[in-house]
Amino acid sequence: MKIHREGYRTLLLVFTLLLVADILLFVFILNGPAGYFLVLFVSLLIFSYFYQFFMDPARNIAKKNGAVLAPADGKVVVIEETYESEYFKASCLQVSIFMSPFNVHSNRSPVTGRVKYLKYHPGKFLVAWNPKSSELNERATIVIEDEKGQEILLRQIAGAVARRIVTYPGVGDRVEQGEEIGFIKFGSRVDIFLPAGTPVEVIIGDKTLAGITAITQNIK
């Protein structure tokens, strides 16, 4: 299991802080092997907790023509028709995927196409399952026009723990289905907006894998 590049600095910082803290404890406070073992064990747990946020497993992406693939690993928490006010300004089908701290936090393109719109919004850090998080939290909106001219909107949303959203492509860039397009540090959520009435292959509670699970086989 390799580490995602977004985790290098964070993990180095955590490792350095733990190392300094352990040395200070060993020199000035602790006395005896039992205390040393406990401190090392706690430090290992803390480092492991941060490490799992930046897991980057190898993934074989099988492109599916006409399908819209999940943009994130996690659990489907919302499937509903709603008004999308930023770009479409129309009723759309919203599918939301919640990424827990134990999910892979890399985001992937649901379709092959070209980035038509991209906007980052600073904001609050409400819990990711709060309905208002889509409008009030730190977030980035990406619209991809697929090869048939259909537009799909993807929204990366920071959660109560997440403090940084990264989006890799820019407006005009071509992205391939399943290609990594972003990363959200720590717990977060990704919304995908499709035309109203689009039939979906998932139900609330389903677990998804980015670039593998099909949200729909055919955009209406």
> By C-alpha distance, which of 38, 41, 46, 45 is closest to 14?
46
* Residue 156: both structure tokens together: 């990366």
143 DSSP 8-state letter: E
Catalytic residue among 43, 96, 109, 188: 188
Whole-number Å distance between alpha carbons of 168 and 173? 10
Q: How far apart are CA 122 and CA 57, in angstroms?
A: 29
**What's the CA gap between 124 and 163, in Å, rounded?**
10
Query: What contacts 24+ positions apart, CB below 8 Å, involve 162-169?
Result: 162/125, 162/128, 162/138, 162/186, 162/187, 162/188, 163/125, 163/138, 165/120, 165/138, 165/139, 165/140, 166/6, 167/118, 167/120, 167/140, 167/142, 169/115, 169/118, 169/142
Report the SS3 class of residue 135. helix
Q: Is 188 a catalytic residue?
A: yes
d(CA 172, CA 178): 18
Q: Mind telling me the catalytic residues?
A: 188
